[in-house]
Structure 1
Amino acid sequence: MNLTLIRYFMAVAETGSFTRGAERANVTQPTLSAGIKRLEESLGSSLFERGRASQLTPAGARFLPRARLLLQEWTAARRELRQEGRPAKLRLRLGYIPGLPQQRLTALLGSFITAHPDIALEILEAPATTLTRRLDMGRIDAAILPLGDDGDEHSLSLFRQRYLLAVPQGHALARRSTARISDLQDQPFVIRPQAEIMPAAEKLFDGLNVRPRIIGRAESDAALLALVEAGIGVAILPHWLGTDHVATLTLPELRDTHRIGLRWREDDSAALQQLRDFAAGHDWDAAAGRTVLGH
C-alpha cells in the first residue's frame, strides 16, 4: 500500500475538495486525481462520488478511519525506530537551598547542561531540611546545601558563606566598615527566620543581652535586601549579596560561617560523577563585585 496515495485520500476527505486537497498535499490537482484513481484501483472500490463536491462513497466512508489509523501507525513506527539508536538520557535530580549566588549557580547549571547533553537535569529549590529529607528518601540525587565541619565521602565542599550587616546608605552606620552587636540594640531589624545564620545570631544577641527591634520577616534574602534598600530596616545577609543602595559592614563578633557544598546519595551514578567533577572545578568567586540573588 502506497502511503502517499493514502495521504492524498485523507487530504480530499478532510477538505471536501480535490482543489483544496491538492493544496494541502502540496501537489497539482491532476497529480492528486491520478493518485486517488490508482488507490481506488488498488482497493477495487470507488472512494468518492465524482461531481458531488467530492463526497465519500459508502466504501470511502468505511475506508476513512482505517486510512487515518494506517497513517498514525506509520508515524508512530517511524518515530520509534528513529529514536531506537539514540542513547537514553541519564536523569539527574539536583536540589539547592535559597540564598545561593544566583548568577554563579545558573552559570554552573547552564554550562553543565551544555557540556553534558546526555544528562536530563531536574532542579528544585527548597530549604536544607527539605533537601536532606528528599536525599534520604531517594527523591533527589544530590543537593547544594550547608555541610557540617566534618566532611564525608558523600559530600564535596564548594565555598564558605560569610555574613555581613547591610544597612541603608543614609543610616548612621553606613560610613563605617565594621559594627558591633551592641550597635544593633533597638535597631529596626528584618530577618529571614529560616536563614542558616539565624541560630548563631540569636545566640549571640542573647549572650550579649542585645535586642534588635524586629519589624519584618521575609521568605528570601532578596526580599530582605529590598527592605534594607527602602530604608525600612537593617539585615544580616550573605557576603555576596548587595547593591549600591546599601552599605555593608563586617560583624567581627559574628564569626559563624557555613560551608556550602554538594551532597549526594550513596548509590552513585555516572551522572553524579559528572556533576561532582563539574562542581569541583567551578570558580564560585570568579565574578567581580557583588551579585544580587534571585532568592
Structure 2
Amino acid sequence: MELRQLEYFMVVAGEMSFSRAAERANVVQSALSTSISKLEHELGVQLFDRSRQRIRLTVAGEEFRDRAAEVLRAAHVAKESVLVLGASISGTVDFGLLVSWGPLDHVAALGEFAAENPRVRLRSHLSQSGSWAYLPALVEGSLDLALISAPQRFPPQLEMNLLFEDPLSFVCRPDHPLAGRRTVEIADLAHEALVGFPPGFGLRSVVDDAFHGVGLEVPTQHELTMSFPEIAELIRRGVGSAIMPDSECRRTPELRRIELSTPVLWRVYLASRPSKDISRATARLAEIIMSSPRTVHHGDAACAG
C-alpha cells in the first residue's frame, strides 16, 4: 500500500466521482481507477459501491476513510518535522475558495506568500455546490485551508476564524423604480426579480434568512453560480437586480447601490484543522490571509450610492 493510493482514495471519497477526482488530482481517470482497484484488491474489500449512477462509499470504505486520513496526516507531520531542519518551507497547500474574497486584497496576500515561500505549491479548489462542502474535506484532510461563507455549523475538529464581515446592499440599474431611494427595507424587495446563488451557498442562506425574518420568500428569479462581475453585467443588461456585498458593488460602476435599512452582514471564515495538525506552509498562508489588507473601504464610491 502506497501513500499515493491513499491520497487518490481520499480525493475520490471527497468528490464521489472518478472523473472529478481525476481532474482534481491532475491524473488521467484510468490511472486513478486502476490505483483504487489495486488498493481494493490488496485490502480484499470493496471500498466504493459502483452499482448506482453516483458512486458511494461502502461500510468498509467509510471505515477506511477515517484510517486513511489519520495515516496521511501522520505522514504529513513526519515530513514537516524533517523540513523544519531546512531553511525554507516546502510542500503543497490545497485551498478551498469562494467566488469572491470580499474586501480582502487576496492578490497581495497570495503574492506575499508565494514570494516568501517559492518552494510551496498552491492548489485552489472552487466548489460548485457552495463552500459548506469544504468542511468535510478539511476534516478528512483532502483540503488544508478554506474560505467558508456564512457557515451554519462549526465542526469541533476545525478551527474557524472570522475573516471579514461585509454589509449587503440592493443593486439595480439607474432606471430602476427604486434607484432614487437612499435605503430600502427587505420588504420593499418582495416583488423584485433577483439574480442570486443557488440554495446551499452561504451568501444565499444569508439573503434567505433576511427575507424569512420579515415573513417573505426570497424572490430569486435566476439561481446562478456566477462571479459578481458577471451578475453585475446581467443587471446592466436588464436581467433583474441583486443583493450583493458592498465590496463587490463598489467595484461595479454604472449601477445604483442602495443600503438596506436593517443591516444584513455576510460573514466569511477561514477554516483549517488545528494548528498541531497542519503544515508550516498552511499555517503561514493562514497567518498572511488573516492579516491581509482590505482593498475596499466604506468611503469608496466606485458604485453610485
TM-score by length of 2: 0.58
The answer for the alignment partner of 1:276 in structure 2 is 286
Q: Deviations 1:52-94 (Å, cap 9, x if unpaired)?
A: xxxxxxxxxxxxxxxxxxxxxxxxxxxxxxxxx9978322111
* TM-aligned CA deviation for residue 177 of structure 1: 1.9
Q: For 1:137 and 1:270, locate their aligned partners in 2 and report how far apart those are by CA, in whole Å.
A: 18
Residue 140 of structure 1 is matched in structure 2 by 143
RMSD over aligned CA atoms reads: 3.2
Give deviations 1:211-255, integer Å, cap 9, x for gaps: 6654322112423222211122111111111322211111123x3
Matched residue type, 1:177 = R
Is the aligned partner of 1:240 residue 2:240?
Answer: no
- Matches of 2:196 and 2:149, distance apart in 1: 19
Cα distance, 1:270 vs. partner? 1.1
Seen in structure 2, the aligned counterparts of structure 1 residues 200 and 160 have a Cα distance that, compared at 3 Å, is closer
Name the CA distance, whole Å, in 2 between partners of 1:237 and 1:228. 12
Give 1:156's aligned residue. Answer: 161
Question: How far has the Cα of 1:188 moved from its partner?
Answer: 2.3
Structure 2 partner of 1:17: none
State yes or no: 1:118 paired with 2:119.
yes
C-alpha distance in structure 2 between counterparts of 1:219 and 1:240, whole Å: 18
* Equivalent AA in structure 1 for residue 99 of structure 2: P
Q: Which amino acid in the other structure matches residue 143 of structure 1?
A: A
Does residue 198 of structure 2 align to residue 193 of structure 1? yes
CA distance in 2, matches of 1:143, 1:224: 24
Partner of 2:178: 173
Q: Secondary structure at the match of 1:112?
A: helix
Q: Which residue of 1 aligns with 2:270?
A: 262
Give the aligned residue type for 1:251.
L
Deviates more, 1:137-146 or 1:208-217: 208-217
Q: Please, which runs of 5 or more residues in structure 1 have no aligned partner? A: 1-84
| Structure of greater Rg | 1
Identity in percent: 20
* 1:41-60 equivalences in 2 (<5 Å): none
Q: Is the contact made by 2:139 and 2:273 (CA closer than 8 Å) also made in structure 1?
A: yes
| 1:62-141 equivalence runs, <5 A | 89-101=90-102, 104-126=105-127, 127-141=130-144
Query: Between Structure 1 and Structure 2, how many residues are aligned?
Result: 207
2:195–2:223 CA contact under 8 A, matched in 1: yes
Superposed, 1:220-235 pairs within 5 Å as: 220-222=226-228, 223-235=230-242
Structure 2 stretches of 5 or more lacking a match?
1-85
Q: Secondary structure at the match of 2:178?
A: coil
Contact 2:144 2:273 in 1 (8 A): yes
- CA distance in 2 between counterparts of 1:89 and 1:207 reads 48
In 2 relative to 1, CA 181–103 (structure 1 residues): closer, same or farther, beyond 3 Å?
Answer: closer
Distance 1:258 1:188, change over 3 A: closer
Q: Is the 8 A contact 1:147 1:261 kept in 2?
A: yes
Decide whether the 8 Å contact of 2:160 with 2:269 is kept in 1: yes
Q: Structure 1 segments of 4 or more deviating over 6 A?
A: 85-88, 149-153
- Normalized against structure 1, the TM-score is what? 0.60
* Structure 2 CA distance for aligned equivalents of residues 190 and 250 of structure 1: 17
Mark the CA change 1:135 to 1:224 in structure 2 (over 3 Å): closer, same or farther: same
Q: Is the Cα–Cα contact under 8 Å of residues 190 and 235 in structure 1 kept in the other structure?
A: yes
CA distance in 2, matches of 1:114, 1:212: 44
